[in-house]
A and B are shown apart, each in its own frame.
Chain A
Amino acid sequence: MTFNLDPVALTRAGRTAEDRAADLRDAGAVTTFGPTEVDDAAALERLQRRVHRLASRIGSNGRSLQAFAREAEAIDDRVSLTFVILSGTQWR
C-alpha cells in the first residue's frame, strides 16, 4: 500500500475547509425571507438545514484531513492503529 502525502499541504487544506465551513454556517443563519405575508417557515427551515448540513460535512472532512496529516507525521518506525483506521476514513 502506498501513501503519498504532504502533511503541510494537507493540514493547510484541512484548516481552509474548516474556515469555509464556518463562513457558510454563519452566513446560513438566515432568520427571515421578507414580509410576514410571504414568509414560509418550512422553506426557511429547509434552507437553514441544507446549509448547515453542507457546512457540517465540509468541516468534518477538514478535521479528518488534519488528523490524517498529524498521524502521518507521527509515523516513525511503526504504523499506528489510528493511522490505519484513518486510512479507511469514509469522507463525507
Chain B
Amino acid sequence: MGWYFSVALPDDPAPCHDAAETLRSVARAARRAADFLDGQGALPREDFGGLAARSYRDASATLGADSRGVADDTGGLAVALDDYAARIAAVRRTLAGVRDDAMAQGFTITPEERVESVPVAGTTVNLPFQRLEATATRAHAEAEAARSDWWQAVQDLTTGPLAPTSDPFPYPTAGPAEMPSDTDTRDREPADAQREPHPPVTAAPFAPIEPASSPYGPKQEPVPEPEPVAPLEPVHADAGPAGPTLHSATYVPYVLHSAALPLPWAHLPEPPPTPSPTAVEGVLT
C-alpha cells in the first residue's frame, strides 16, 4: 500500500515533423495550382473568347478557390502537427526530469514507470513526493491538451469542399494510382459550402442549372448535346472571306452563324470580342 504517480512518456513525436513536411509539400503543390488557376480565371479574351471560354474561366476561378482552400488547410495541419510535436517533446522532457529527480530522492520506480512512495504508518505524503507528483500531473495534462488541440485541428481542416464526410474509403489507402475516378456525385455537402464559401460564380452558359448547394452540379450527367446535331450540315466558308487556317494564325476569331449552329445556348447574349491587332476574322456560313 502506498502512493504513486505515473512518469510514463508519451510516444516520441519525432515522426510528426516528417508528416508535417509532407503536408507542407501538399500545401505548396495546391498553392501552385491555385496560382495557375487564378491566371486561367483571368485569361485574356484575345487568347480564349466566347461562351465556352467564359464557362472555362468561371470553372477555373472556382477550382482556384478550392486549391487555395486545400493549401490553407494542409498548411494549417502542418502547423498544428508541429505544435503538437513540440508540446509532446516538452512533456517528455518534463517527465524524464521528474523520473530522474524521484530516483535521486530515493523513490521507487516500478517497471510500469510509476513513482511509488510507501509512507510510514500515521504520516502524510511527504513534500518532495507531492512536488514531483504535481509536476508530473501538469505534464500529463499538457500532453492531453496537445492531443485534444491536434484532434480538433484534424476535424476542422479535413472537412472542406470536395472532402467526403462520413463514407468509408472504398479502396485501400495507397498511392494515387489506386485512387478511383472522380465520379462521386456528392461533391459538396451543404455544411461544407457554408463553412468555406466561394465567391459567387456566374452561371456558365453551357452548364445545367445547378443546385445552390453544389457549385459543380451533378457529375455524371452527360455533356448536353445540342438537339439538332444529327442533321448538321458541314458549314462551308464559300460565302465569306477566305477563312484563315488556324495553323498559321496566332489569334483566330471565328464567326459562326447561330442559324447554322442552332445550339441550345445560341440565344444567349455574347459580348463583342476584343479585336486583336493580329486577329484575322473568318465568317463561316
Question: Which residues of A line the B interface, CB within 8 A?
Answer: 1-10, 13, 16-17, 20-21, 23-38, 40-58, 60-61, 65, 68, 72-79, 81, 84-92
Residues of B within 8 A of A58 (CB): 33, 37, 63, 67
Q: Indicate if the CB atoms of B261 and A1 lie closer than 8 Å.
A: yes
Contact call B84/A87, Cβ cutoff below 8 A: no
Quick check: is B145 within 8 A (CB to CB) of the other chain? no
CB distance from A34 to the nearest CB of B (A): 4
Would A45 and B169 count as touching, CB distance under 8 A? yes
| Dominant secondary structure at the A interface | helix
Pick from B13, B67, B204, B256: contact of A34, CB under 8 Å? B13
Question: In the assembled complex, which residues on chain B have CB atoms less than 8 Å from the CB atom of A21?
Answer: 33
17 further contact pairs, Cβ within 8 A, besides A87-B263, A92-B216: A1-B50, A4-B276, A4-B279, A10-B47, A13-B43, A24-B33, A26-B176, A32-B15, A33-B77, A41-B173, A52-B179, A53-B182, A61-B60, A68-B52, A84-B263, A88-B224, A92-B219
Interface pairs (19), CB distance under 8 Å: A1-B256, A1-B258, A3-B254, A4-B53, A5-B252, A6-B48, A6-B250, A27-B22, A37-B10, A46-B165, A47-B163, A49-B163, A50-B164, A51-B70, A54-B66, A77-B243, A78-B234, A87-B50, A91-B60
Residues of B within 8 A of A91 (CB): 55-56, 58-60, 204, 207
Give the shortest distance, in Å, between A82 (CB) and chain B (any CB): 11
A79–B182 touching, CB < 8 Å: no
Interchain CB contact (< 8 A) of B33 among A13, A20, A53: A20
C-alpha spacing A90/B56, complex, angstroms = 8
Docked complex Cα distance between A7 and B216 (Å): 26
Closest-by-CB residue of B relative to A33 is B19
- A38 touching B151 by the CB < 8 A rule? yes
- Closest A residue, CB atoms, query B33: A20
Q: Taking the complex as formed, is B75 at the interface, i.e. its CB lies under 8 A from any CB of chain A?
A: no
Chain B, range 187-211, C-beta contacts under 8 Å to A: 187, 204, 206-208
Q: Which chain A residue lies CB-closest to B35?
A: A20
- For the complex, give the distance between the alpha carbons of A3 and B15 in Å: 54
As a 0/1 sequence over residues 215 to 249 of chain B, the CB contacts with chain A under 8 angstroms (1 = contact) are: 01101000111100100101111000001011100
A1 to B11, CA, bound (A): 65
Are B253 and A38 neighbours in the complex by a CB distance under 8 Å?
no
Residues of A within 8 A of B36 (CB): 16-17, 20
What chain B residues lie within 8 Å of A56 (beta carbons)?
179, 181-182
A8 to B247, CA, bound (A): 9
Q: Which residues of B contact A57 (CB under 8 A)?
A: 63, 66, 182
Residues of A near B45 (CB, < 8 A) are 4
Q: Are A3 and B63 in contact (CB under 8 A)?
A: no
Question: Given the interface contacts A45-B173, A90-B204, does A23 sit within 8 Å of B29 by beta carbon?
Answer: yes
Q: Once the chains are docked, how many angstroms separate the CA of A90 from the CA of B6?
A: 61
For the complex, give the distance between the alpha carbons of A34 and B22 in Å. 11
A13 and B216 form a contact (CB under 8 A): no
Q: Shortest Cβ distance from B203 into chain A, in angstroms?
A: 12
Give A59 to B58 CA distance when docked, in angstroms.
16
Query: CB-CB < 8 A to A88: which residues of B?
Result: 52, 206, 223-226, 263-265
A3 B11 Cβ-Cβ under 8 A: no
Distance (whole angstroms) from the CB of A73 to the closest CB of chain B? 5
